[in-house]
Structure 1
């Protein structure tokens, strides 16, 4: 394990900037050293801040996906409750219906492309 103390150089201690001690694997420490050594980042703190920005971005995207799925579920449930659904007697009937929906969508898109 590698140990890092993430403490940016400061002449005067600033209580508004929190510091953390973290434990890294050898692989993670080597990655940080490689990134800093490449000149892409000036120090380990920059590497870790970039990693945290990526995690924050991924978390925001995941929350947006979850919200979209919940909205879609609400719409679907409301449609079912309003009676807007079809019952298919066989899997083949469902496949036939889906194929016709796809064919219709492709034809509509083709017509749009030709009109532009």
Structure 2
């Protein structure tokens, strides 16, 4: 297995030491590898969220181009948003 030297802040070092001492990991390398796996997972999830957001943006742009939208004056915006929240069963506040 390749080795790599890394620098940690004192807080990070203390955290790694604490999880090893607590028996959650056999050694610091296991703790760091688990942290890297969590980072990889978070990046995969972020990429999926971004993909879903782009799909929703495209759907919104397509709807605008088809003329499927509701125009709301600035003075009516708060009431309109509240009506949407009430209609979806959530509280906007």
TM-score (norm 1): 0.66
Where does structure 1 lack aligned partners over 5 or more consecutive residues? 1-16, 107-116
| Higher relative helix content | 2
The count of corresponding residues between Structure 1 and Structure 2 is 89
Bigger relative contact order, structure 1 or 2 (CA pairs below 8 A, ≥6 apart): 1
Q: 1:83 to 1:39 in 2, by over 3 A?
A: same
What is the CA RMSD across the aligned residues, in angstroms? 2.0
Where does structure 2 lack aligned partners over 5 or more consecutive residues? none
Partner residue, 2:61: 77
Q: Supply the distance in 1 between the matched residues of 2:16 and 2:78 (Cα, whole angstroms).
A: 53
Larger Rg belongs to: 1
TM-score (norm 2): 0.80
Give the CA deviation at 1:69.
0.8
| Higher relative strand content | 1
